[in-house]
Amino acid sequence: MITVEKIGGTSMSQFEDCLNNIVKRNRTEATMYSRIFVVSAYNNVTNWLLEHKKTGEPGVYEKFAKNDDYESALDELYERLLVLNQGFEAIGLNLAEANSFIKYRIKQAKTYLTSMNQVLTSGYVEKSSIYLAAREILASLGEAHSAWNSVNILNNNSIKATFIDLCGFNDSEELTIDERIHKAFEGIDFSKTLCVATGYTKGTEGIMRAFDRGYSEVTFSKVAVEVKAAEAIIHKEFHLSSADPKLVGKDKSIPVGNTNFMVADQLADVGMEAIHPKAAKPLELAGVKIRIKNTFEPDHPGTLISTDYISPTPKVEIVSGTDRVIAFEVHDPLMVGEVGYDLKIMQLMQKHSISYILKSTNANSITMVVWDNAATHTMLSEMEKSVYSLTVKPVAIACAMGSNIAYPGFLARCAQALCEQNINIECFGQSLKQVNMQFVIARDRYVDAIKALNNALCANQ
């Protein structure tokens, strides 16, 4: 039985811990293999290549997009990667071989980017496709670097390992993502080698075009489905817990243990992904369970996400949310009784590729909570011209989630916990499925709300 295991960037940067806690721990020669690792780039490397995921600080990609000196930017990146390589020499990385590999891969990337830049400057092509391709090329460098290094370290630690390069740098085959993954793993005897695959996969549909920065989890998901994995394991630097330990304190953050895919979807909807939702769906449909483990607590079983799990006792499993949203409310005295009034709102949101997290209505008002970003503000400026009245407010959303919360009293306990901290509920949402109670609150009370809900519903159960 094969397991497919995803190792995130923060864990990869501490690869000695990965070696001891994930690869070797409690393994004998007989149990070492039948595992595939799909690895992310080392911490911050993709940020340097593209842009910082949270702050937006530009990386090499912006240099290319602005026809600036991207070659020098890649040279600077190369120097940074050499420093990273040096940090792994003590655990078995052959420094000369590793430096040579990434030097050649960056040289290849420069060649591709130079050709693409020449095509761009000709003025004969549509630019967006070229820019997307450039992002793909740059993104792939990080995963190729970490995956190649990992295989080198494993082999030098007397563990048979195989580098599965899904980046497609050395071929011109027009394969879909699924076809490339199928071809890469065809004929491998998994019982005799540990496969380490790049989190990036080249495909005709463009993995970043479809999934953006969630691409490594999509590769992980597709590999697990391809090899019919017994379990798909994600190694992170933290547990999937009742609440973010950075907000509520590690002692109040309780590992979840078990939950289902529906709750995982609720988490993803507010940006707190256990796994990218587009990566979770193929696993869910294929009946492959996901286990979230903490790299630094290897003996803890972690949290198992399955299709049919329902908590045997009613309880809130996770408190989460975000303070990076805004609420807008369309008000119109003539809305009452008018069929399809919100159609024009939804059409405008579709035009700007904006989805909502929460929607609440009354007789003459519609309130929606959406991400606070440039596209949203552009959309709202346009909307203001076509509605009777528009109110926009920066807010936060705090959520109480669970596989078994459809019982009287949970809503009251949530409201009471917020009330005791003098936090007003400005808007509320819950569907008939009753897996997620969503509370819209003032943005500056977000941390207080998460602490209050976690203390009342999870930490003291």
121: pLDDT strictly greater than 90: no
438: pLDDT strictly greater than 80: yes
71 class by beta-carbon count within 10 Å (0-12 exposed, 13-18 middle, 19+ buried): middle
The angle, 0 to 180 degrees and rounded to 10, between the axes of the packed helices 277-286 and 215-226 is 10
Cα separation, 455 vs 452, in Å, equals: 5
Per-residue tokens: 161: 């390992």
Cα separation, 396 vs 399, in Å, equals: 10
In this predicted model, what pLDDT tens digit does every residue of 51-76 receive, in sequence order? 988 788 999 999 999 999 999 999 99
In this predicted model, what pLDDT tens digit does every residue of 159-182 receive, in sequence order? 999 999 999 998 888 999 999 999
More confident residue, 203 or 214: 203
330 beta partners: 366, 390
385: pLDDT strictly greater than 70: yes
461: pLDDT strictly greater than 70: no
Looking only at the bridges linking them, the beta strands covering 436-442 and 389-401 are antiparallel
pTM of the predicted protein model: 0.88
How many separate helices (H) and strands (E) can be counted in the chain? 17, 14
Cα separation, 35 vs 207, in Å, equals: 24
Q: Which amino acid is at 263?
A: V
Looking only at the bridges linking them, the beta strands covering 161-164 and 290-294 are unpaired
Cα separation, 262 vs 166, in Å, equals: 30
442 beta partners: 395
Q: What pLDDT score does 114 carry?
A: 94
3-state secondary structure of 212: helix
Q: Please name which of 191, 182, 139 lies closest in space to residue 164, comparing C-alpha atoms.
A: 182
More confident residue, 268 or 355: 355
In this predicted model, what pLDDT tens digit does every residue of 82-95 receive, in sequence order? 999 999 999 999 99
Average pLDDT, the chain: 94
Average pLDDT, integer, range 302-321 = 95
Q: How far is CA 179 from CA 187, 198, 219, 224, in A?
A: 14, 15, 12, 14
Query: What letters, b where the CB count within 10 A reaches 16 and e where it falls short, cover 212-246?
Result: eebbbbbbbbbbbbbbebebbbbbbebbbbbbbee
Cα separation, 280 vs 448, in Å, equals: 31
347: pLDDT strictly greater than 70: yes
Residue 47: pLDDT band by 50, 70, 90 thresholds? very high
Q: Please name which of 211, 219, 225 lies closest in space to residue 147, comparing C-alpha atoms.
A: 219
In this predicted model, what pLDDT tens digit does every residue of 276-290 receive, in sequence order? 788 888 999 999 999
Q: What pLDDT score does 97 carry?
A: 98
In this predicted model, what pLDDT tens digit does every residue of 207-221 receive, in sequence order? 887 778 889 999 999
Residue 109: pLDDT band by 50, 70, 90 thresholds? very high
Q: How many CB atoms lie within 10 A of CB 356?
A: 18
Average pLDDT, integer, range 353-368 = 95
Q: What percent of the chain shows pLDDT beyond 70? A: 99
Q: Are 140 and 61 in contact (CB under 8 A)?
A: no
Q: What pLDDT score does 78 carry?
A: 97
Question: What are φ and ψ of residue 69, in 5° steps?
Answer: -80, 75
Residue 1: pLDDT band by 50, 70, 90 thresholds? confident
Q: Please name which of 218, 202, 216 lies closest in space to residue 108, comparing C-alpha atoms.
A: 202
Query: For 273, left (φ over 0), alpha (ψ -120 to 50), or beta?
Result: beta
In this predicted model, what pLDDT tens digit does every residue of 220-243 receive, in sequence order? 999 999 999 999 999 988 899 999
Cα separation, 457 vs 437, in Å, equals: 12
Least confident segment among 125-134, 250-259, 313-322: 125-134
In this predicted model, what pLDDT tens digit does every residue of 411-436 receive, in sequence order? 999 999 999 999 999 999 999 999 99
**Side-chain half-sphere of 284: how many Cα atoms within 13 Å?**
18
43: pLDDT strictly greater than 80: yes
How does DSSP assign 184-201, residue by residue? HHTT--TTS-EEEEES--
Sign of the C-alpha dihedral, residues 17, 21, 27, 32? negative
CA triplet 97, 102, 104: central angle to 5 degrees? 95
63 class by beta-carbon count within 10 Å (0-12 exposed, 13-18 middle, 19+ buried): middle
Sign of the C-alpha dihedral, residues 209, 212, 218, 220? positive
